[in-house]
A and B are shown apart, each in its own frame.
Chain A
Amino acid sequence: MSETAKPRPEFRNINIFTDVRTYRLPLAGLVSILHRVSGAIMFVLLPFIIWLFDKSVSSEISFGQFTSAFSAGLWFFPGWIIKLVALALIWAYLHHLIAGVRHLYMDATHSVTKEFGRSSAVVTLVLSIGLTLILGAKLFGLY
């Protein structure tokens, strides 16, 4: 046995107040916690999502209310806040969908190696953030 071997570090449950800032979460772990966060965001904003669905499909008049929410605002929120919330929902949906498909793929093909976990996490993050930027630029009228 080599004398230089350090004692193996032991990790317990991390504490939100003391460990989160220094904890080096692997990319697969980042995808995992963001999967949770994105799901929670959509759960909380469910009434807003249904409101958008309602206004957009019910009638020509309600469709006008739907589009004006993004320009003139809604209730006491200005239009740009509505756009930001919509952008958050776009990201949450994309991340949740892609991370979910990653789960299904791993279940179906038993791809559970450390390497695949990392490479598929990179793909998930690049796709979800990339598509969010593209759709966000369209939402804010950059092209």
Chain B
Amino acid sequence: MAVNYGAKRTVVGAHYGLRDWLVQRFTGGLMAVFTLIVLARVLFAQGPIGYDLWAGVFAPQWMKALTFAVIVALIWHAWVGVRDILMDYVPPMGVRLLVQVLSIIWLVGCGGWALQVLWRL
């Protein structure tokens, strides 16, 4: 077997552990629950479907706090998934590292934008 430890350790590989697997499940579960909550709040709201109803879904403080947590969960979840894809399809270590860094910038930027939108509601 090829040596893959010490100086030959793959620096952009898996973490050889349980954490990402567990994170993927709990962040995914949170987003699934969030989907049901948003759906319920839209379906059980009174009045015509329009801006007032939709903005009202995100009006309560607890909903803003929950949405904040979901945005963090989404970015983390997407990172674990994208890293899995890159580990499978982009073997050259230099290219993989570059694409992984670009993915992180992409995700953190998008997460910041989403939080900015949420923050000013």
Contacts and interface: CB of A to CB of B under 8 A. Distances in A.
B54 A63 contact: yes
B32 A57 contact: no
Contacts of A58: 117, 120-121
Contacts of B55: 57, 63
A7 B106 CA distance: 49
B110 interface: yes
B113 A47 contact: yes
Contact of B35 (A59, A63, A97): A97
Contact of B113 (A36, A42, A50, A100): A50
Interface of A: 36, 39-40, 42-43, 46-47, 50, 53-54, 56-60, 63, 97, 100-101, 103-104, 107
Interface string B51-86: 100110010000000000000000000100110010
Given A50-B110, A63-B54, A104-B29, A40 B117 contact: no
B45 interface: no
B13 interface: no
Contacts of A104: 25, 28-29
Given A43-B81, A46-B110, A53 B117 contact: yes
The 5 A-B residue pairs with the shortest CB-CB distance, nearest first, are A63-B51, A54-B117, A46-B110, A100-B28, A39-B81
B114 interface: yes
A103 B25 contact: yes
Contacts of A54: 113, 117
